[in-house]
Structure 1
Amino acid sequence: MSHKIPESVLVVIHTADLDVLLIERADRPGFWQSVTGSLDRPDEPLLETATRELFEETGIVADGERIVLKDWLLSNVYEIYQTWRHRYAPGVTHNTEHVFSVCVPRDIPITLAPREHLQYAWLPLLEAADQCFSSSNAEAILQLPRHVDDK
């Protein structure tokens, strides 16, 4: 088994009314989050990673026209939870997370990856931020209005 690359994306999925889609982790029931995922290879472009993870975890296709990923040009460095450190090379303790968002219609079909997620929920912005187990995810959700307004 190869180790995970300690660089990832976070994709906040939302509607025009700022309802936020959260998904519940299959490996940790009760842990809700936005789409997240590590680079598949060190040279994988971040937009490619975000597009791939968005599709793999929700079935949403970012086509660049109707569904457009927005790179916030914002990175967070955080300590990897002890429970998931075994996925990384020995001695790796921190991950760099790059934040994206995507506005979608509320009625867009959601197809979860069953091995990764149990269920999804559309929540108002503040409720979604409160529901996230990850502080960087919650903070990104709280920053969402600022990034929607700056086209």
Structure 2
Amino acid sequence: MLAGMTDSPRPPKIPESVLVVIHSPALDVLLIERADKPGFWQSVTGSKDHLDEPAAMTARREVAEETGIVIGSAAVPDDALVDWALRNVYEIYPVWRHRYAPGVTHNTEHVFGLTVPRDTPVVLAPREHLQHVWLPWREAADRCFSPSNAEAILQLPRLRKAP
């Protein structure tokens, strides 16, 4: 280690995050399996990197990091990402609370939808996810471990961007 450098721990996660329901025009939903909890399927999720990061920017970054899908590309235009204007406040699972500042027990989640062609290539971040699957929206909701994720998927037919 160089003089003057310290091995500092990661800063605590910000208890404000996004949930991005990635779906095809036919309402098939992309789910990804967590590497740290095999068998736990979810949509793209992630916390803000800094307090003033706009939720839409967090959504764009997390989608790219977790799936390799770049919003604003020729295949996935900017307007494919839609803020569903839903906010979930939920208790953070005890197994993940150590990632947050002491005393933080709840997270606010901003929900987005992202319409992509069904054949959009998916490249998972191997340290975060094991595999992915496309499922019809009802089946996808049933497979999610998170109640807020399942509820968001059930809202898909009502909240998706009209074709």
Coarse TM-score class (shorter-chain normalised): over 0.9
Choose from 129, 141, 146 the match for 2:158.
146
Structure 1 residue 112 corresponds to structure 2 residue 99: no
Structure number with bigger Rg: 2
TM-score, with length taken from structure 1:
0.96
Question: Given residue 126 of structure 2, which amino acid in structure 1 is its aligned partner?
Answer: P
**Moved runs in structure 1, 4+ residues, more than 2 A?**
64-67
Report what 1:4 is aligned to.
Answer: 13
Choose from 44, 66, 73 the match for 2:85.
73
Report what 2:67 is aligned to.
Answer: 58
Report what 1:43 is aligned to.
Answer: 52
Structure 1 residue 34 corresponds to structure 2 residue 43: yes
What percentage of residue pairs aligned between the two structures are identical? 70
TM-score, with length taken from structure 2:
0.90
Question: Given residue 69 of structure 2, which amino acid in structure 1 is its aligned partner?
Answer: I
Question: Given residue 73 of structure 1, which amino acid in structure 2 is its aligned partner?
Answer: A
Report what 1:19 is aligned to.
Answer: 28
Question: Given residue 12 of structure 2, which amino acid in structure 1 is its aligned partner?
Answer: H
Give the 3-state SS of the residue equivalent to 2:111 in structure 1.
strand
Aligned CA distance change for structure 1 residues 46 and 149 (closer, same or farther; 3 Å): closer
Instruction: Provide structure 1 residue ranges, at least 5 long, that are not aligned to the other structure.
Output: none
Alpha-carbon distance in 2 for matches of 1:93, 1:23: 25
Mapping 1:81-92, distance limit 5 Å: 81-92=93-104
Structure 1 residue 97 corresponds to structure 2 residue 109: yes
Alpha-carbon distance in 2 for matches of 1:52, 1:59: 10
Instruction: Provide structure 2 residue ranges, at least 5 long, that are not aligned to the other structure.
Output: 1-9
Give the 3-state SS of the residue equivalent to 1:8 in structure 2.
strand
Deviates most, 116-125 or 67-76: 67-76
Computed over aligned residues only, the root mean square deviation of the Cα atoms, in angstroms, reads 1.3
Alpha-carbon distance in 2 for matches of 1:16, 1:142: 15
Choose from 123, 131, 144 the match for 2:135.
123
Displacement after TM superposition at 1:64 (Å): 7.3
